[in-house]
Amino acid sequence: MSVVIDTSAIIAVITHEPHRDKLLEITKGQELIAPKSIYWEIGNVFSAMLKQERITLEQSLICIESYKKISIKMVDIDLKTALEISDRQNIYAYDAYLIACANKYRAPLLTLDKGLILAAKNDNVTLLEVD
């Protein structure tokens, strides 16, 4: 089965956050897919963490090496479709890309982002729950 994975889930795994083990369990043996924007979002998260002094450059580079080892099929998303979702759900394009990806590939979405969870539910996207 394919699973659309978002930045929050990836960050939780590579930074060893509390949901890490559950996320690894859920994704074991699954094909992970994501819009190509995920690559840039990962960088943005780490730059924010650096700016807030929550992580050192050395720590962030170690996390990036862990990220590179995750097999994720990066896919293109139609911008028109994403903008329609963005408008309909009143969300940023980055979240709309994930919903569009889940719809396009008929795959469940794995996220820890509460706002994205709500928008995905409103768009009838199947979610993989992480408790």
128 within domain boundaries: no
What DSSP designation does 29 have?
T
CATH number of the domain within which 64 lies: 3.40.50.1010
130 within domain boundaries: no
Angle (CA) 124 130 131, round 5°: 120
Residue with tokens 């190509």, as numbered in its chain = 36
Going by C-alpha positions, the residue among 1, 30, 10 that lies closest to residue 113 is 10
Q: pLDDT by residue (tens digit) across 43-57?
A: 999 999 999 999 999
Domain that residue 106 falls in: 2-122
Distance CA 23, CA 70 (A): 13
40 within domain boundaries: yes
Which pLDDT does position 131 carry in this prediction? 72
129 within domain boundaries: no
pTM score above 0.85: yes
127 within domain boundaries: no
33 within domain boundaries: yes
Rounded to 10°, the helix 37-51/7-14 angle is 60
Confidence of residue 1 (pLDDT cuts 50, 70, 90): confident
Q: pLDDT by residue (tens digit) across 18-74?
A: 999 999 999 999 999 999 999 999 999 999 999 999 999 999 999 999 999 999 999
Q: What's CA 26's distance to the chain center, in Å?
A: 14
Name the domain count of the chain. 1
131 within domain boundaries: no
Q: Where are the alpha helices (DSSP H) in the chain?
A: 7-14, 20-27, 37-51, 57-68, 79-89, 93-105, 114-122
Which pLDDT does position 129 carry in this prediction? 84
Which pLDDT does position 56 carry in this prediction? 97
